[in-house]
Chain A
Amino acid sequence: MSLFAALSYLTIRFARSRFGQFAVRGHSMEPTFADGDFITALEVPGSANLKPGALVVIRDPRGRDREMVKRVSEAMPNGDLVVLGDSPGQSTDSRHFGPVPRDLIIGRVVLRYWPLTRFRVFA
């Protein structure tokens, strides 16, 4: 049992070098993400491989200390991404701050792991 725990711990420690865990705050991504959900993002800074529909964690262009989760709506010809909340009435997004440069992208959301009843993998 302790060996299993140790292995799990090491595995996750390794995984954490590329995956980031985030707690969702707010309602702009409902129903996909609710306030309090825990999600995992595969961190590929500035990823060029993001298609419309992808869920992304980005730096807030208005204050880079803040990280936010949104959905890619479209890619502009210059590579910037239009990101929107799934719940437009409760979201501050590209409608307010415009398309987001790629270098603000932290990664793509791949997992919603908490609460367990809402466990889901995002391909």
Chain B
Amino acid sequence: MFLTAIKTRFLSTLTPTRVASAHCDIPCGIYDPHQAQLAAHSVIRMIDLIAAVERADETKAEHDIARYVTVKEEHAEIVKREVRIIWGDYFKAEHLQEFPNLHGLVFDIMKLASKARQTLDKAAAEELLGKVQEFAEIFYKTKGRDTKRVATVYPTGGELVQAA
């Protein structure tokens, strides 16, 4: 009994109780606001497609709307996730001093993306894209890069923010 206790204590002494992190905040500085912009454009496109559904064939209309709504839900959620990752993992306190509106901007993006899921409000979806572009411009500025807005090749038109 005594021996067992000693052995247990001895082994527990050798077992670390602390963790030394040798990890990286994967993906190791690979951050890019491009995906969030694509997803915001997709949300607008889905709203357009839903509005354009032909009602003649009711079954087909229901089927198509179900597909568009699903993709709209998914892409609004992608916007939120991608922005959250850059906001939570990349931006640091010193960035906030330079861009004090960053938290407010992210908050607006979260709310507008939720609205994009809940409604067919195209103005809100376009406002969402605008905020995401603003977010992308701040991101590139913190990387010391100028930005430019280029016309997309999407049916929705609009622009994409890129590093110049």
Contact = CB atoms under 8 A, between A and B. Distances in A.
Interface of A: 1-2, 5-6, 8-9, 12-13, 16, 20-30, 33, 35, 38-39, 41, 57, 60, 62, 66-70, 85, 89-92, 96, 113-114
B155 interface: no
A25 B20 contact: yes
Contacts of B2: 2
A46 to B, nearest CB: 17
Q: Which 4 A-B pairs give the minimum distances between C-beta atoms?
A: A26-B23, A21-B16, A22-B20, A69-B20
B59 to A, nearest CB: 52
Contact of A6 (B6, B13, B14, B92): B6
A114 to B, nearest CB: 8
B10 A21 contact: no
How many of chain B's residues touch chain A, expressed as a range?
20 to 34
Given A12-B13, A13-B13, A22 B19 contact: yes
Contacts of A13: 13
B16 A38 contact: yes
B15 interface: yes
A9 B6 CA distance: 8
A22 B22 CA distance: 11
A16 B3 contact: no
20 contacts: A2-B6, A9-B6, A21-B14, A21-B17, A22-B20, A23-B18, A24-B20, A24-B22, A26-B24, A28-B24, A33-B22, A38-B16, A41-B20, A57-B20, A62-B92, A67-B19, A67-B20, A68-B22, A91-B28, A92-B23
A96 B29 contact: yes
B21 A68 contact: yes
Contacts of B18: 20-23, 67
B9 interface: yes
Contacts of A1: 3
Contacts of B92: 62
